[in-house]
Amino acid sequence: MSNKQKYFYSLLAVAALIAASIYGFINNRPGLGLDLRGGLSVVLTAKESKGVRITQKAMDQAILIMQERVNKLGVSEPTIEQQGSRNIIVQLPGIKDAEQALDVIGQRALLEFRIVQKKYEGQSPEQMNFEISKKKKVLEKTLLTGKVIDSATATFSSGQDQLSSAPIVEFTLTPEGTDKFAKITKENINKRLAIVLDGRIITAPNIKSEIPDGKGVIEGIESIDEARRIALVMQTGNLPFALDISQHQQVGPTLGKDSLNAALMAGIIGVALVAVFMLGYYRIFGVVTWFTLAVFGCILAGLYVLINLILVQLGSAGFSLSLPSIAAIIFVFGSAADSSIIVYERIKEEIKGGRSIRSAMDVGFAHGFRTFVDADLVAFLTAAILFYFGVGPVKGFALVIMLGIVADLTTSFLFTRSIIGLLASYDVIKSTALFGLRREATPE
């Protein structure tokens, strides 16, 4: 394949990438972060107490508790995510009553066992919760708290055949809990015992018989997932750590919008300044840079969407555009122009060294590329480390820096190289003045 052909194919690849990026971007527009659209963001940190290790299982329980609480708040599109080994980030976009939300999220988890009042015995837990929300007295007073639960596991009942095997939760009680539970079950046979987390009934099984030995089973659960959820909830009374609100941030909708407008304004002016400078200094190459920056922008957007799609596939919430990521976007546009400059200056240098314009352009890219690949890789390395250790918005910043470097290398290799190569092979540029090099300056 001749060089010309290679360049044409590269440009075709660029066109395909741009099309894919634009298509992907339109269909999967990244959401705006809380700092731009308003809302409440809370970081909860598990607090270690003496002799207690914070296990992943305990963190899973904590996240489950948070999900229950957030459901209670009725926010659309909440995200609850673990970050690092000890932090849970709860994001509630567009929430009106931040005070109430903080109260609900910040409370200590409380698991209780309470008997359901006769009047409501025939209802499902959902109906009971609805009655509770109307301030009706559905439950008797608290008989036991979650501390009496030693363990709870979801499993299948060992029926005679496949058909009679149903999901159940088996639980065991602590020695202190065993006697109390025996007494309660004995006195309340055929009543319903509600398991209540933070004031919400999770399930309310019927007491069939006395449980004297501290080993009980909950039956009549619809699915194994539901059984798992109940088992997790039953252990939350034993959550071995306190969850503290270590940071919270409320952003009003108007202030968020102000920030977004200011950021867009700054970005447009910043990129325009770079474009004007490049034209003034590098003339025809400056125009090439305009296209380079446009291609770079498309590929960056495409990569951002792609990463988010992958993250969502992996079950994470993905990244929304926050102020720090916008700062990074503006910054990487400036550094994308750097790569072009290194190539153009290299071409000038080759001409000063006595090469013809055409051969200078041929070798200029190759030499320049080697230089900025090294420079880019070092920058990538630091950004990757920052991404790994950063918390919250800093992660978004580091991610954009990394994507910016990948987009820059892709653009340079596929686009800038081909354009320079084609300009050289068609001998378009006859005078060095066209890219801002005065004749008398050549050769040295």
Partner 1 sequence: MKIDFIGRTKIWAAVSGAVIIISVVALVAIGLNFSVEFTGGTSLDIKFKQRPPIKKVRDTLGKFGLQKSIIQPVGSSNMLIRFRQPGLTQKKALAQQEKVQNTIKKSFKVIDINAEQVGPEWGALITNAALLALFLSLAGILIYISLRFEFKMAVSAIAALFHDIAITIGIYALVGREVSPATVAAILTITGYSLYDTIVVFHKIVENSKTIQKDTYANMANRSINQVLMRSINTSLTTTLPVIAVLVFGGETLKDFAFALLIGLITGAYSSIFVAPEILTIWKETEPRYANLKRKYAQGQALGTRL
Residues 214-233 that bind partner 1 (CB under 8 A): none
Region binding partner 1 by CB under 8 A among candidate stretches 58-66, 88-96, 240-248, 295-303: 240-248
Q: How far is the CB of 395 from partner 1 (least distance, A)?
A: 9
Strands 167-173 and 242-251: unpaired
> By C-beta, is 86 or 358 nearer to partner 1?
86
Count CB neighbours of 102 within 10 A: 17
Phi, psi angle pair for 206, to nearest 5°: -85, 135
Decide: is 25 part of the binding site for partner 1 (CB under 8 A).
no
Q: Which of 8, 25, 331, 413 binds partner 1 (CB under 8 A)?
A: 331
Decide: is 324 part of the binding site for partner 1 (CB under 8 A).
yes
> By C-beta, is 145 or 250 nearer to partner 1?
250
What is d(CA 349, CA 361) in angstroms, rounded to the nearest whole number? Answer: 10
Comparing C-alpha atoms, which of 139, 103, 134, 92 is closest to residue 119? 139
Q: Which of 251, 299, 347, 424 binds partner 1 (CB under 8 A)?
A: 251
Residues 39-78 that bind partner 1 (CB under 8 A): 43, 45, 47
Q: How far is the CB of 284 from partner 1 (least distance, A)?
A: 16
What is d(CA 104, CA 198) in angstroms, rounded to the nearest whole number? Answer: 9
Q: How far is the CB of 397 from partner 1 (least distance, A)?
A: 5
Q: How far is the CB of 266 from partner 1 (least distance, A)?
A: 4
For residue 47, give Cα distances in angstroms to 42, 55, 102, 356. 15, 12, 18, 69
Q: What separation, in Å, do the N-terminal and C-terminal C-alpha atoms of the chain show?
A: 36
Decide: is 294 part of the binding site for partner 1 (CB under 8 A).
no
> By C-beta, is 113 or 372 nearer to partner 1?
372
Strands 111-116 and 87-93: unpaired
> By C-beta, is 8 or 277 nearer to partner 1?
277
> By C-beta, is 213 or 374 nearer to partner 1?
374
Q: How far is the CB of 382 from partner 1 (least distance, A)?
A: 3
* Contact partners, residue 211, CB within 8 Å, separation at least 6: 181, 182, 185
> By C-beta, is 152 or 274 nearer to partner 1?
274
- What is the DSSP track for 130-145? HHHHTT---EEEEEEE
> By C-beta, is 33 or 302 nearer to partner 1?
33
How many positions of this chain bind partner 1 (CB under 8 A)? 76
Q: How far is the CB of 374 from partner 1 (least distance, A)?
A: 5
Decide: is 85 part of the binding site for partner 1 (CB under 8 A).
no
Angle between helices 3-27 and 417-425 (to 10 degrees): 140
Helices (H), 283-322: 284-313
Residues 89-108 that bind partner 1 (CB under 8 A): 98-99, 102, 106
Q: How far is the CB of 5 from partner 1 (least distance, A)?
A: 30
The per-residue b/e assignment along 283-312, b for 16 or more CB within 10 angstroms, e otherwise, is bbbbebbeebbebbbbbbbbbbbbbbeeee
Phi, psi angle pair for 44, to nearest 5°: -105, 135
Residues 253-292 that bind partner 1 (CB under 8 A): 253-255, 258-259, 262-263, 265-267, 269-271, 273-274, 277-278, 281
Decide: is 121 part of the binding site for partner 1 (CB under 8 A).
no
For residue 178, give Cα distances in angstroms to 151, 173, 212, 312. 13, 6, 7, 44
Residues 169-208 that bind partner 1 (CB under 8 A): none
Q: How far is the CB of 404 from partner 1 (least distance, A)?
A: 11
> By C-beta, is 281 or 413 nearer to partner 1?
281
Q: 3-state DSSP helix/strand/coil percent for the chain, to nearest 5? A: 60, 15, 25
Site track 26-45 with partner 1 (rule: CB under 8 A), x = hit: ---------x-------x-x
Q: How far is the CB of 348 from partner 1 (least distance, A)?
A: 8
Residues 364-403 that bind partner 1 (CB under 8 A): 370-372, 374-375, 377-383, 385-386, 388-391, 393-394, 397-398, 401
Chain-centre distance for alpha carbon 379: 23
Helices (H), 137-215: 175-187
How buried is residue 279: exposed, middle or buried, by Cβ count under 10 Å (0-12/13-18/19+)?
middle
Decide: is 358 part of the binding site for partner 1 (CB under 8 A).
no
> By C-beta, is 211 or 332 nearer to partner 1?
332
